[in-house]
Chain A
């Protein structure tokens, strides 16, 4: 080992330690930000080291520098601007987009290496297996994450998209990937093998994600995140760089655990989610049979009256609140009630706002005190003593249908909103939620519907409540 190699190996080791300790620190709210900072330091070390390495190596030519610097500059600007400007409500699709490009970069490395072999520059046959895995996984996560981001952003319909023969297409894509893999390993001089493999992987990512319903999307994004980690690790094998292998494997396994925990929070198994998608999402059809008929509508004035004379109020925020950017209004209403001695808490479903923990982030953003944010189990023990539950733009997570079998959300843990004495639901329309099924809570005896945009509705309710409180 030359001095430079020794130095770079040690630096990469330090940077790997930073990632591991960083992830460890991120498990607690108190140290989470430090953890992320530490992993960022590790990243900076690795980048500085590789810059020194390629400068000393002297192999890179002017055009290589231009391509590298231009790509990095544009990428950094785009990433930082997007990261700074994004509304907190749009974070899930942004994470999915960042994940897609990560997979894309890993796949690009595989493609590059294979083309070098094909061009006769290098011949390292033993490394062709990582190359193949890198291209397959990287390509799949690239297209899959783009579709997931599109679904979360609403550019692609959130409903499961299936077409006749989609199962057959899946099978064909898998066969094409296997054929491509064998071809690439057996005849490493063939461009067409690479093209076949890349196209098959991209198509497979597409087919894998399209039939999965929007409600399951967070789990899929997390799974694809873990996949990208593996793709990056295999890219590390390809270019013989340990820091890629360590960081990629770390994200691969940690991401898998995170995925399992998210799936557990929704009481779904990962296999179930993927198989459901592959199966064609047939379970969703015909689920809208029992549309609630006797829905009672109410006004802001009536809601204000109910709230002003309640002792215990539970706010149940959902995606509608996030989409309408109404977190400031809800915090204002809660403060108004709290200032008048009314107990206010938030019941937060683990997957409220489409991603686990997303709602906590949105509410923390508007200074909602931690002690008012109740996680599902704690909230469920409080509903019986709740006078008014104010459901804002939440649907599936409150749907009592989850307790029955044979529908799209069967078995999903829900908030027992129907156990509270009175329920007010602020919602724009009777449209079903992400899971695409009707919610019997909306037609229950104690429920009143207040049809409005969350932001405007809350403003009206705040005004009405003020009349009844001594203000």
Chain B
């Protein structure tokens, strides 16, 4: 096993453990936003799209690079947008009505 593969493997295993540790019991209220947030994080695959594009040197590879960039960009941009929108709803003042905001939200949803 090469040094490089070993260090990558170590990083992988330790990151798995961090994931288990950081994700203790979370309230049901936040499970959907959390899933969406985690979904956005694996959009980091977009970095891979750059690497693919940089190494592409024929038409087949350019098409793959395009596909990869498109898929990853949808994942990362959409993921953060929709997670932020969901979480934004928890920011409102407790119990208070916010008619102006309400209208805006309606507009956005139509």
A residues adjacent to B (C-beta < 8 A) = 15-16, 19-20, 22-24, 26-29, 32-33, 35-37, 39-40, 43, 46-47, 50-51, 53-54, 57, 59-61, 63-76, 78-80, 82-88, 91-92, 94-95, 97-99, 101-102, 104-106, 108-109, 111-112, 115-116, 126-127, 221-222, 225, 228-229, 232-233, 235-237, 239-258, 261-262, 265, 348, 350, 355-358, 360-361, 364-367, 369-371, 373, 375
Contact = CB atoms under 8 A, between A and B. Distances in A.
A46 B52 CA distance: 16
Contacts of A91: 32, 36, 82, 86
A251 B94 contact: no
B28 A32 contact: no
A253 B16 contact: yes
A19 B74 CA distance: 19
A47 to B, nearest CB: 6
Interface in B30-60: 30-57, 60
B23 A258 contact: yes
Q: Which 10 residue pairs of A and B lie closest in terms of their CB atoms, listed nearest first? A: A75-B73, A71-B69, A83-B81, A253-B19, A79-B78, A79-B77, A249-B15, A68-B53, A105-B71, A356-B31
A265 B28 contact: yes
Contacts of A358: 32
A171 to B, nearest CB: 29
Contact of A33 (B88, B96, B109): B88
Contacts of B37: 22-23, 26, 35-36, 39
A69 B62 CA distance: 11
Interface string B83-110: 1111111111011111000100100110
A367 B98 contact: yes
Contacts of A54: 50-51, 53-54
Contacts of B16: 249-250, 252-253
Contact of A244 (B33, B44, B60): B44
A236 B34 CA distance: 23
Contacts of A229: 38, 41-42
A228 B90 CA distance: 28
Contacts of A86: 82
B54 A64 contact: yes
B19 A112 contact: no
Contact of B30 (A37, A64, A249, A357): A357
Contacts of A60: 53-54, 56
A337 B8 CA distance: 60
Contacts of B45: 102, 105-106, 109, 232, 235, 244, 248
Contacts, number: 405
8 contacts: A22-B41, A64-B53, A72-B46, A79-B79, A80-B78, A112-B56, A253-B23, A361-B33
Nearest to B69: A71
Contact of A225 (B38, B72, B77): B38
B5 A126 contact: yes
Interface of A is mostly: helix
B92 A79 contact: no
A108 B71 contact: yes
A230 to B, nearest CB: 9
Given A23-B22, A245-B12, A357-B30, 13 more contacts: A20-B18, A26-B30, A28-B30, A36-B33, A105-B45, A105-B71, A112-B52, A126-B5, A232-B48, A249-B16, A249-B18, A360-B29, A367-B102
Given A54-B54, A225-B39, A87 B109 contact: yes
A75 B50 CA distance: 14
B19 A254 contact: yes
B83 to A, nearest CB: 5
Nearest to A49: B47
Contact of A63 (B56, B79, B90): B56
Nearest to A141: B42
B80 A75 contact: no
A35 B86 CA distance: 13
A63 B72 CA distance: 19
Contact of A98 (B34, B54, B63, B78): B78
A361 B43 contact: no
Interface in B1-29: 1-2, 4-5, 8, 11-13, 15-20, 22-29
Contact of A367 (B29, B55, B61, B97): B97
A84 to B, nearest CB: 6
A115 B92 CA distance: 51
Contacts of B84: 33, 36-37, 40
A2 to B, nearest CB: 16
Nearest to A238: B48
Contacts of B13: 249
Contacts of A99: 39, 75
Contacts of B78: 78-80, 82-83, 94, 97-98
B73 A72 contact: yes
